[in-house]
Amino acid sequence: MDEAPPRDDSRVPRRTRVVLGEVAARRAPADRGRADLAEQTPVGEALVKGLMRAQLALALRLSLVVVTGLGSLPLLFAVAPAVGRSKVLGINLPWLLLGFGSFPFLVAVGWAYVRFAERNEQDFTAVIRRPEP
């Protein structure tokens, strides 16, 4: 076997270490809102409680809409018995309204709840991501 020729180390460039100091210096300062949430500080707790309070208020308001909307139908039939006895396509009107009319109403309230709850969460996220002066 042939022996490999000796290497001339004088021609091989030396390795240099590159430090990403510029990248570290350009890093954004720590986001205080996220830090408050992660560290569970009193400020973070207040932010989360505010979101929970907003979501609870929304749920209670829409529950009131459902109770008022569906609860008013039996009251209507008790106050106006002629409406309760009327028939549409051979089916009593109360059965149609409570059996078939309530489902689209509940779906609409559910859709509204999801939409408003997402808006509350977006507002919460905007508060967290807002840069501090």
Token pair of 90, please? Answer: 């051979």
Token pair of 74, please? Answer: 């039996």
Per DSSP, what are the bridge partners of residue 91? 88
| pTM reported for the whole predicted model | 0.62
Per DSSP, what are the bridge partners of residue 87? 92
32 neighbors 132 (Cβ within 8 angstroms): yes
pLDDT along the chain (133 residues), means of 10: 61 70 52 61 78 91 92 82 76 78 90 92 81 60
